[in-house]
Structure 1
Amino acid sequence: MPNAPRDVAQIRLDNALRLFDEFVAATVKHPDAAALRGLERRFAERLQIQPSYWSQIKSRSRQIGERLARQFEQLSHKPVFWMDQEHGSAPSGAAPVAASVTDLNPSLPQDDDERFIVGLVLTYYRRHPQRARTRLLDLLGEVLTPPTEAASPAGIRPTKPQSQAPAAAASEASAWEQVAKGIAPLKPKKR
């Protein structure tokens, strides 16, 4: 069946994802940390629904009914019945949104695991900013700075030839030092 009609529920879902893509593109034009946080929550607020409800719509556990479709159209400044019509190639779920956001800013979390880790780090930083900054820089410095040949375990050979390994290690170590130097110290909170 080459031109089988698609059901309205799927068309509405595709259009809701299209609205979210538009929202992300409009928000990320001026990327700053505050604008990039909580995009899905802010999108749900714009449509006057709960973020959990938007999550259920995306996961296909809820469908967009007639009243909600009209609400989405009105709040997104689309013509009546826009949600019920196909508009070009359909988005295939959250992938195009994630791709568009990460193309514009690859440092954004790309999946739930990354969002969880970023959330943990932010929670720690917000509770203890000075201690978090120091500990995280120490930890990342240990992980991102390659070990010297003397510190490598016996029996394990470096993957690069001996002549290239020290130069590469020095280059990576100096790059990490430059990043660490470029981070300004925190200002104490005013009380």
Structure 2
Amino acid sequence: MSPAPRDVAQIRLDNALLLFDEFVSATVKHPDAATLRGLERRFAERLQIQPSYWSQIKGRARQIGERLARQFEQLCHKPQGWMDIDHQSPSAMAAAQTQAQAAEPDAPPSTPQDDDERFIIGLVLTYYRRHPQRARTRLLDLLGEVLTPSPAPAVKAAPKPGATPASELDDWRRAQQGVAPLKKKR
């Protein structure tokens, strides 16, 4: 007889604890009790929840709902749905991976790939949300400059030796038009 499937709340709790273990191993080499208390607070800050709420989740007084699970995935850079997959049993994990690959073969190219891209997107969104019309105009101008190919520079004929190029002569004449002549000394 196969074991009963685990409920989503327990899977999410186990995965949240896995995320915390990853955070601890990435942060310190040899954690002790005092270090862990500080790390739990920092982990809660990373997840953008209160440390007391994280404590309640660990103590099973609170469950991780749908929105909070997606928040954990996003802030810990995990694919969407990661919190709902049982990462404890190898067979469940393999089945979930094939299901996830079939559902989403590749991330869309507009999805940010790293922290730098997420930072830039956050900046642009913040600017747009504060000043939508100005942001739209400025961003379109900027992108127009960058994405529009510049016209090919005209090839100038080589000037004759000792001759002043015509464009330089024209520039000099335009500059002299608004200048008053110098007065002669007495």
Q: Which TM-score applies when normalising by structure 1? A: 0.43
**Bigger CA radius of gyration:** 2
Of structures 1 and 2, the one with the larger relative CO (CA 8 A, separation 6+) is 1
Q: What is the TM-score of this pair, normalised by structure 2?
A: 0.44
